[in-house]
Amino acid sequence: MLNHDLLPDEKGPQDECGVFGVWAPGEEVAKLAYYGLYAIQHRGQESAGIATSDGQRINVYKDMGLVSQVFDENTLNALTGHLALGHCRYSTTGASHWANAQPTLGATHDGTVALAHNGNLINTAELMEMVQAEQGDQMRGEIAQGNTTDTALVTALLRGREGETLEDTAMGLLPKLRGAFSFVFMTESTLYAARDPQGVRPLVLGRLDRGWVVASEQPALATVGASFIREIEPGELIAIDENGVRSRRFAEAKRAGCVFEYVYLARPDASINGRSVYESRVEMGRQLARENDAEADIVIPVPESGTPAAIGYAEESGIPFAHGFVKNAYVGRTFIQPSQTLRQLGIKLKLNALEPIIKGKRVIVVDDSIVRGNTQRAIVRMLREAGAAAIHVKISSPPIKWPCFYGIDFASRAELIANGATIEEITQSVGADSLAYISEDGMIGATEQPRERLCTACFTGDYPIPLPTSDRLGKNLLERSNGNPATEPEGGCDPGPDAEFESTLTDADRSATNA
């Protein structure tokens, strides 16, 4: 589902964040970080930042906006050094404003640390108590400057004790963190990367001719010309400096990788735990066709996330594949969005149905997931207006019934349409002739991963990392503790499927009353 730009006030599952790090003497590391972030921009579009070091001093530049909006040639040329890290953010813990942009910067007893985080911690309240115990009433660093993220808390706790190296401090702190984290952090001379024991979010290591790269996904390695070496292991901390790469284990691996990475979050050209994301999605489409056939003339995807599954569905069913929508790739977050009055006129900024393909046809439309149902309502409306004779909606993931606390910004449980409605009721709500989801076994089988090594919490409610009580959980926990009202839904750091087309939905799309 892609409705982020269709409905700005009603975000669906959001991809977490993207992290990138490079240690490469003699290379333009800031520009490598820029291109690496550009490759994983889909993981966060609210802010971007890069930190570099020349061995003596760390410089950070960050701002709100896309990577291409935040940085220009002059800015990147000013970020000199031989190691760098970068971050593109979709807010997880903490609101979306400049003070919460990353990388975060903090003092240690022998220098400075910069840190970028992909994921979401669930013991934020406990970490805040640890920081308060160390700093007392006089908060320092980014926390004192208004940063309300779990990342700022980790940065503060990396200060450590006098005489202790940052690496040793990290080895003591990382086992105390609960939740999802793929960290890239650095001192003036060393680049580090760490991944939570469950390996919820991806993190990979790559090799340059004259250095090393770490990134959220393999496509970022390919973009900067790095060869893939391996994934950072769950529970592993690696350090990169002039002596090469060294590894330490801070916790036993207890794999529970996010299955939604295969369904939607990761780029299709990524590979996670040895399995191609694209091939997983195509197989989900094939399995969807095996489980839920329908008489139709064409199979079309909701672009772009539904395309691989639609290809698989068409292959398995023998029904011709067609492109039924044209997507305008140039409508970004800075585009002047129409007012609600203008949206009622049917302004279609992101997506247009191809009437010559659709008119008079029985259409199977394949999407990756349903969150609130608003995007599907808009899709069905557009197909009806284009003259479709029948519309059968096929979803390549099971019904989403539970929120994510590990880095995806889903709606609250009460807002998830599958949590309170039957399939028949959802079908009527979105206005389709029929609706079918893939089975949980079918989805998991397509990933070729053992069920016990995947997190399926958003579908099953089975959280592999035990959650704290509700009063110690939530995206705006630190804002609430500071007496500030919570202005954003609880959730994670990743823009999810219900997030791309939101800004052009009409009131009718937001309401089930038009069913």
Q: Is the dihedral of CA 5, 6, 7, 13 positive or negative?
A: negative
Decide if pLDDT at 256 tops 60: yes
Among 319-333, 381-395, 400-414, whose mean pLDDT is lowest? 319-333
What is the pLDDT at residue 98?
Answer: 81
Decide if pLDDT at 402 tops 50: yes
Query: Which of the four pLDDT bands, split at 50, 70 and 90, describes residue 8?
Result: very low
Decide if pLDDT at 2 tops 80: no
Q: Examine the residue annotation and report whether 17 is marked as an active-site residue of this protein.
A: yes
Q: At what angle do helices 440-447 and 277-291 cross, to 10 degrees?
A: 150
Phi, then psi, of 286 in degrees rounded to 5: -60, -45
Q: If you count them, how many residues does the chain have?
A: 515
DSSP for 288-322?
HHHHS----SEEEE-TTTTHHHHHHHHHHH-PPB-
Parallel, antiparallel or unpaired: strands 257-258 and 191-195: unpaired
Average pLDDT over residues 219-247: 98
Per annotation, catalytic residue among 17, 58, 122, 454? 17
Residue 91 annotated as part of some ligand binding site: no
Which tokens sit at 508?
């009718």
pTM of this prediction? 0.89
What is the pLDDT at residue 485?
Answer: 37
DSSP-assigned letter for residue 260: H
Element (H, E) at 386: none
In angstroms, rounded to a whole number, what is the distance separating the alpha carbons of residues 51 and 409? 26
Average pLDDT over residues 329-336: 61
Q: At what angle do helices 307-317 and 277-291 cross, to 10 degrees?
A: 50
Query: Which of the four pLDDT bands, split at 50, 70 and 90, describes residue 145?
Result: confident
Most confidently modeled range among 10-19, 98-107, 441-450:
441-450
Render pLDDT for 270-292 as a digit per residue (tens, 0 to 9): 999 999 999 999 999 999 999 99
Element (H, E) at 48: strand 47-53
Query: Which of the four pLDDT bands, split at 50, 70 and 90, describes residue 192?
Result: very high
Q: List the one residue out of 330, 349, 331 whose CA is nearest residue 339.
A: 349
Decide if pLDDT at 223 tops 50: yes
147 vs 335, more confident = 147
Query: Which of the four pLDDT bands, split at 50, 70 and 90, describes residue 411?
Result: low
Average pLDDT over residues 395-407: 95
Contact yes or no for 149/488 (Cβ under 8 A):
no
Residue 458 annotated as part of some ligand binding site: yes
Contact yes or no for 248/171 (Cβ under 8 A):
yes
Grouping H, G, I as helix, E, B as strand and the rest as coil, residue 182 is: strand
Query: Which of the four pLDDT bands, split at 50, 70 and 90, describes residue 11?
Result: very low
What is the pLDDT at residue 345?
Answer: 61
Query: Which of the four pLDDT bands, split at 50, 70 and 90, describes residue 139?
Result: confident
Decide if pLDDT at 347 tops 70: no
CA 150 to chain centre: 16
Parallel, antiparallel or unpaired: strands 298-301 and 275-276: unpaired
Q: What value does the mean pLDDT of the chain take?
A: 88
Element (H, E) at 409: none
Contact yes or no for 15/44 (Cβ under 8 A):
yes
Query: Which of the four pLDDT bands, split at 50, 70 and 90, describes residue 13?
Result: very low
Per-residue CA distances from 257 to 1, 203, 280, 417 (Å): 21, 11, 14, 25
Query: Which of the four pLDDT bands, split at 50, 70 and 90, describes residue 336?
Result: low
Render pLDDT for 430-439 as a digit per residue (tens, 0 to 9): 999 999 999 9
Element (H, E) at 174: none
DSSP for 479-498?
HHHTTPPP-S-S--SB--TB
Amino acid, single-letter form, for residue 298: I
Instruction: Give the list of residues 6+ apart from residue 184 with CB closer than 8 angstroms, or none.
Output: 19, 20, 21, 85, 87, 115, 116, 191, 192, 193, 214
Average pLDDT over residues 479-485: 45
% residues pLDDT > 90 (the chain):
72
Residue 493 annotated as part of some ligand binding site: no
What is the pLDDT at residue 272?
Answer: 97
Angle at 468 between CA 465 and CA 469, to 5 degrees: 145
Decide if pLDDT at 495 tops 70: no
DSSP-assigned letter for residue 42: G
In angstroms, rounded to a whole number, what is the distance separating the alpha carbons of residues 440 and 425? 20
In angstroms, rounded to a whole number, what is the distance separating the alpha carbons of residues 86 and 61? 10
Decide if pLDDT at 10 tops 70: no
Residue 368 annotated as part of some ligand binding site: yes
CA 46 to chain centre: 12
Residue 494 annotated as part of some ligand binding site: no
What is the pLDDT at residue 491?
Answer: 40
Contact yes or no for 231/273 (Cβ under 8 A):
yes
- Alpha-carbon Rg for the chain, nearest whole angstrom, is 23
